[in-house]
Amino acid sequence: MLELTKEKIPPYLQEERALIKQLYENGVSATKIAQRMGRPETSIRTRINRWGLKSIRLWTQREEKFLKKHYHTMKIKEIAQTLNRTESAVNHYASRHGLRKFQRQM
């Protein structure tokens, strides 16, 4: 019988926790943190959510202009990749600024 088990991820050291918190709260993406630390991105995202961390990465004027210009013609995934943002971040920004993919016709 073939037994498949997930490889255990070593526990996070206190120094690693502090680094994740510092980087994420200063606008470094979970993807970049995972790459830097050699940890799975899903594990980093789980810790960020579990610890209730919030990113303060502000949108630049260039990013805002790009998003507003391309929101109706590009897929969310493409915009997110181009801007090095998450799809969730793009959706949240669009929602907060009243951007809609489709206009309702009267």
- Pseudo-torsion of CA 96, 41, 26, 58, nearest 10°? -20
pTM of the model: 0.55
Find all residues with CB under 8 Å of 89, minimum gap 6, and list them.
Answer: 80
Mean pLDDT of 10-38: 91
Angle 13-37-11 (CA atoms, 0-180°, nearest 5)? 30
Helix, strand, or coil here: 106?
Answer: coil
Rounded to whole angstroms, the Cα distance separating 71 from 48 reads 28
Contact 89, 64 (CB under 8 A): no
Query: Tokens standing for 96?
Result: 């907060």
Rounded to whole angstroms, the Cα distance separating 21 from 39 reads 15
pLDDT digits (tens, 9 = 90+) for 45-72: 999 999 988 877 788 999 999 999 999 9
So what's the pLDDT on residue 19? 95
